Structure 1
Amino acid sequence: MVGHPFYILDEIDSTNNYAMEQVNSGQVTSGTAWFTSNQTAGKGTRGKQWIARPGDIMALSVALQPAMLPLSRQFMLSMAVALATHDFLSAHAGDETIIKWPNDIYWRDRKAGGILIENVLRGNMWHYAIIGIGLNLNQGKFPDDLPNAVSLKQITGKTWDAATMAQELCRCLDARIRTLQMSALDTLLAEYRSKLFRWQQPGLYRKDGIVFQGTIRDVLPDGHLCLERDGEILQFGFGEVEFVLNR
């Protein structure tokens, strides 16, 4: 089960770094989770850092052996984790919770959290996935250079106990991961698409410094985003196109 065992770290540079060290030591069972509310050098996608004051964030990493999926279906795990995090946040923040492709968690058009999955391979075998989730929990305000960030406290007006919330998130992850199997791909994709930010709606995007208007028409099983621009369907991989937000 995801979250068994569940370790609380008082302070750590990155829960994903710590989880990776534990996996490489060979002393970990699948489902082990590490949590902190004081992460000093958290990692985001494409090398971005995740910095916050102690108690403001919920940082959770889970070591999972994804034996139910082949390595070629990594995006299925990414979708399941994004949907589990959506399940968790929407239970508290309401139905304006959405997923920004590929796996950022948004409330309206503001970022509430992010997901980073790092893989441990043994030859061509998918040995472990390190699932890292960071959520803005109790921040009252954000720096000016983060104009589209939002915390659960800002949404609800409540202060949350981070460890309790992390354990709840583990239960959401466990429920979603238990449904993962190759035969569930079409159902998983359909639900993931239905919860996407800007799904079937025009919006602005940036590619190679050029801003253009496009409409998300599809997400493929391998994770590629299909954008319609001027009647043409363009496919983008992770990091190849940027969402332009109105701020």
Structure 2
Amino acid sequence: MIDLEVLKSHLTTKWVGRDRLFLKQTDSTNNLAKNPPHVLVHGSLVLTEYQLKGRGQSDKSWFGDAYKNLYFSIYTKPLKIEGLFLLSLISALSIVESIRSYHLFHPLMNQMRFKWPNDVYVGKYKIAGILTENIFQGGLLKATVVGTGWNINQDQFPINLQDKASSLRLLFPENWIREELLARYLNFFEHYYTLWESQPNELVRILNSHLLGYNMPVRVVVDGLKLPGVYTCLGVDVQGHLRVLNKEKEVDTFTYEQIRIYPV
């Protein structure tokens, strides 16, 4: 089981993860964060060992065993609305940076990217997914919950997922300590969240350098329809929108709900 004292010993944050809500199991940490048993504060960490109804974008289910992986949400109270979707990408970036901070000499370390809009990949394998949800009260933004499912020590997957999903344990020959990984993630999350508030252009530059398909030819699907031809992915902007260059050399901009891209 997750040892909260070990987690705390690795934290260097000022506010992310300092307040913690832990349950052995819950339907989903995002739901728990939206309906907590006590008041949450900016940066509260909601953590569980097992999600009964873990989900991702478009209500897709999330597969994972108990006591092997990381299932958590961060409760935030943003001071601005501009670029809220970038918080999903900050979570993805924090996962990538957490793994890279171990400085492993392994060829797959150079194949870590996040895929628009909310998945983290190592090579062809998905290792994490993010679901960000906003809470409104009286028409005003009250909070944003950034939920993450991260495969750490998962050692087997259903047949239908074996060529799509994997875990750190299966990909890298390391003894992954979940508390230390989570602490590293939280440390990076606070750093990049602060950058989002103060230097969004610099954050976007860093995000794009880790985005799968950035500055590459891609196929584009908009609102479920595959568009003809090949586009060039220009990356995200400070609004959290994805930009692509079309065949007429014009820039088209889309929200995360609208567009999916696939490198050629």
In structure 1, runs of 5+ residues without a counterpart are: none
- Do 2:127 and 2:150's aligned partners in 1 also have CA atoms closer than 8 Å? yes
Are 1:115 and 2:130 matched, yes or no?
yes
Q: Which moved more, 1:47-56 or 1:72-81?
A: 72-81
In structure 2, runs of 5+ residues without a counterpart are: 1-14
User: Runs in 1 of length 4+ with deviation above 4 angstroms?
Assistant: none
Are 1:200 and 2:215 matched, yes or no?
yes
Are 1:179 and 2:195 matched, yes or no?
yes
3-state secondary structure, aligned to 2:101: helix
3-state secondary structure, aligned to 1:9: strand
Given candidates 14, 24, 37, the residue that maps to 1:10 is 24
Are 1:228 and 2:245 matched, yes or no?
yes
- Do 1:102 and 1:238's aligned partners in 2 also have CA atoms closer than 8 Å? yes
Are 1:88 and 2:98 matched, yes or no?
yes
- Do 2:195 and 2:202's aligned partners in 1 also have CA atoms closer than 8 Å? no
| Change in 2 beyond 3 A, CA 1:65/1:112 | same
| Change in 2 beyond 3 A, CA 1:96/1:150 | same
CA shift for structure 1 position 59: 0.7
| Change in 2 beyond 3 A, CA 1:226/1:141 | same
Are 1:239 and 2:257 matched, yes or no?
yes
Deviations 1:202-245 (A, max 9, x none): 23344445365332123232222222343444333223233447
Deviations 1:48-95 (A, max 9, x none): 11121213321111111122xx22331343343332232213324734
User: In the alignment, what sits opposite 2:176?
Assistant: 160
Sequence identity of aligned pairs in percent? 24
User: In the alignment, what sits opposite 1:75?
Assistant: 85
Q: CA RMSD in A?
A: 2.5
Are 1:100 and 2:115 matched, yes or no?
yes
| Change in 2 beyond 3 A, CA 1:178/1:230 | closer
- Do 1:112 and 1:136's aligned partners in 2 also have CA atoms closer than 8 Å? yes
Deviations 1:77-122 (A, max 9, x none): 3343332232213324734221212332121232211111111122
Deviations 1:25-57 (A, max 9, x none): 662222211222322211211111112121332
| Change in 2 beyond 3 A, CA 1:2/1:159 | same
User: In the alignment, what sits opposite 1:29?
Assistant: 41
Deviations 1:117-142 (A, max 9, x none): 11112234322111111111112233
3-state secondary structure, aligned to 2:113: strand
- Do 1:84 and 1:173's aligned partners in 2 also have CA atoms closer than 8 Å? yes
Q: How many residues align?
A: 241
